[in-house]
Amino acid sequence: MGMMKIPMIAREPDFMIHGVLKYHAFGQELWISDTTVGAWIITALLLLFGFIASRKLKTVSESDTPGLFQSGLEIAMEALENMAKGTMGANGRRFVNYIGTIFLFILLCNLSGLLGLRAPTADFGVTFLLGLFTFCIVNYQGIKNRGFGHVTSLFQPIPLLFPINLIGEIANPISISLRLFANLLSGVIIMGLWYGMMPWFAKIAIPAALHAYCDLFSGAIQTYVFCMLTMVYINDKME
Amino acid sequence: MDRLIGFDPQLLSELFFTAINIFILFFGLSYLLFNPVRNILEKRREKIAGELKDAADDKKTAAALKAEYEAKLKDVSKEADAILEEARRKGKARETEIIEEAKAEAARIIARGNHEVELERKKALDDMKQEIVTIASLMAGKVVAASIDTTVQDSLIEETLKEMGESTWQS
């Protein structure tokens, strides 16, 4: 007896990462995914904004009264500096550029769901890389400030705890990248299920509330959490 | 290719592309956005700090100048008092001098007036004496015209006048 297909829903729920362009490298068949393209778009937008800001700021003289655009940039920069200094103290100044970069990148990635893109941060390939950067910076600072003591600190307070300390160190980048990834993925799945499974009338107005929570609220919170944790981890190794 | 997560070469490929992305973004935004804005803020901070320092210096200078001027003003007041005192003293002296001069002038005028009165009196006496002599001689002449001659008449009159004396006319 053949199976009957009954069209229950408009289309299949879709929250997968899709390949856009296939290429071969190192004997592997690889894809440029839609999240990678999304990340490129966001990078391009941010660089365009930076370019416009740079052009505007070049025409500014010291004695001019700052306009709306310049004031906005200055307020944002001061907020960023205060956030970095509040968590890392005097050390924060050196990391403002990096924290600012990942803050803007993650925030726009998280909010890109509102523009119809699949949030690049709902791809572990993006969040894990951010976690790895944090891990690298943390250990670089640890070695720079403590030298060999950075390695011996893994055997503190007693050598028996070395495995736990090691796992603790390695778990940091995995935990922050998985936290960001899972939060954003949950939003993507919820939105995908809603758009894929709900009848047409449920797609009016109601998704706005879901977007507000999954993209705006959760996205902004997770951006802040990721940046704060990165700063806390780095600061731990600088004291 | 459809996937949610996977630990395979595709993950490495995505890591690679994301790393390039983040590097470009970091250097691009640092150059275009973060450093220029921070420079502007830094310059403004320095400018404000400089202006505050200048203002503090100016205030200090102004206070010193004020103290100096107040001291000078005090001296000026003293000097003015001295000048006024001197002027008053000179005025007083001049007043006394003027009064003295006026008194002397008045005395001179009075003396001259007295002298003139004396002269007038003497002149009037002389005139009166002359008039009386004339009248007396007329009267006597008429009385004794018939009996005595002119020589006798003159000697009689002279004698009479001498008898009366100078003091009688002057009193």
At A190-223, the pLDDT tens digits run 988 888 888 888 888 888 999 999 999 999 999 9
pLDDT 10s digits, A148-188? 888 888 888 888 999 999 999 999 999 999 999 999 999 99
Which residues in chain B are contacts of A97 at CB distance < 8 A? 26, 29-30, 34-35
pLDDT score, position B148: 65
Kindly state whether residue A134 falls inside one of the protein's structural domains: yes
Query: Which helix (H) or strand (E) is B127 found in, with range?
Result: helix B35-144
CA distance B56 to chain A (A): 21
Instruction: Name the domain count of chain A.
Output: 1
Query: Which helix (H) or strand (E) is A231 found in, with range?
Result: helix A218-236
Q: What is the pTM of this model?
A: 0.72
CA distance B61 to chain A (A): 26
Peptide bond just before A157 cis, omega within 30 deg = yes
- Which domain covers residue A74, as residue numbers? 68-236
pLDDT score, position B169: 57
Kindly state whether residue A111 falls inside one of the protein's structural domains: yes
Q: Which of residues 83-102 of A touch B (CB under 8 A)?
A: 96-98, 100-102
Question: Model confidence at A113, in pLDDT bands (50, 70, 90)?
Answer: confident
Kindly state whether residue A108 falls inside one of the protein's structural domains: yes
CA distance B18 to B128: 154
CA distance B25 to B33: 11
Kindly state whether residue A229 falls inside one of the protein's structural domains: yes
DSSP state of B4: S
Q: Residue A103: phi, psi to the nearest 5?
A: -60, -50
Where chain B has pLDDT below 50, the residues are none
pLDDT 10s digits, A10-56? 567 788 899 999 999 999 899 999 999 999 999 999 999 999 999 98
Q: What is the ipTM of this complex?
A: 0.89
Interface check A123 vs B, CB under 8 A: yes
CA distance B49 to B43: 10
Inter-chain touch A132–B37, beta carbons under 8 Å: no
Query: Which helix (H) or strand (E) is A17 found in, with range?
Result: strand A17-25
